[in-house]
Structures are given as structure tokens and as C-alpha cells.
Amino acid sequence: MGEGIECYRGVVHPWLCDSMGHMTTRHYTAMFDDASYHLLAALGFTPDHLAAGIGFADVKMTTTFVAELNAGALTVVFGRVVRVGNKSLTTHYRMCDRHTGETAAELEVVTTQFDLKSRRAVPLLPEIRAASEAMLAEAD
């Protein structure tokens, strides 16, 4: 499968590191979360959807830490759709060290289309489904 699209670029600042000198898990999660907004936007999700009361909610996240990132490291996150369900998408993100190209962490997320008023999962919007299926087909 392809690596997907670039969704995020960042830098590991010293204040993102823990007492052992590497970026702490909470900040990996934040970078992946920022990347998810870019991937959803690439799939056609807009502020107009939010204004209409439609959003997304992550229901499962699995993170795999592969290599340390230390202060000064530049990061790039690539994201892609790996599964399209009725009410959910499964996406995969890969965070790389920009200088070495080495994978630092990977995240797989199950995200539901979410009605912000009823606070319940709803079927994917047709335009989001179509763009997700197109991205999935490109990866094959």
C-alpha cells in the first residue's frame, strides 16, 4: 500500500521531551491528531460540515512506537485510509524523522462520522465516503 498523503510537519522542541530525553507520548498523539484534521480535509471535510452539526469522533487508537525522536528532530506525518465502513473510517498514519526518513511511530485509528447534536455515530456523508474509497483504491 502507498504511504498516503503528507498531513503534518513539525519539530520536536525540548519542552516536548520527557525526563528521559525523548518526545513524550502525549506529544506524538498531538501531532497525529493535527495530522488527522489535514487528512479529513483532504477527504472533503470542511468547516461547513461542523456548522451543520456533523463531525468525527475517534473510537479506537493503536500507536506503535518504533524509534526515538529527540529535541531538534523534524517530523513528517503521512496519512491514508485503510478501510471504509458504513459509519466509520480506519486510517493509518506514519510519523517519520525528516532527516533520516526513519519511521518513528505509526498510528491506526477508527473514526466515526458523528452527529454533534445527538452525540451518535451516523453514516458517512456521501462525499466523504467517495473520497475515502478513491484514496483506498489509489493505494491498491
Return the amino acid letter for 102. Answer: E
Q: Where are the domains of the chain?
A: 5-139
HSE-CB at 127 with a 13 A cutoff on CA atoms is 9
pTM of the model: 0.94
C-alpha cell at 43: 477527504
82-129 pLDDT per residue, tens: 999 999 999 999 999 999 999 999 999 999 999 999 999 999 999 999
Residue found under cell 465502513: 85
Residue found under cell 453514516: 123
Task: Map residue 127 onto helix, strand or coil.
Answer: helix
Q: Identify which of 28, 116, 135 has the alpha carbon closest to the alpha carbon of residue 75.
A: 28
Question: Is the pLDDT reported for residue 59 higher than 90?
Answer: yes
- pLDDT confidence bin for 3, thresholds 50/70/90: confident
Predicted pLDDT at 1: 47
Report how far residue 129's alpha carbon sits from residue 85's, in angstroms, rounded to the nearest whole number: 9
Predicted pLDDT at 105: 98
DSSP lists the bridge partners of residue 83 as: 90
Domain 5-139: give its CATH code. 3.10.129.10
Task: Map residue 36 onto helix, strand or coil.
Answer: helix
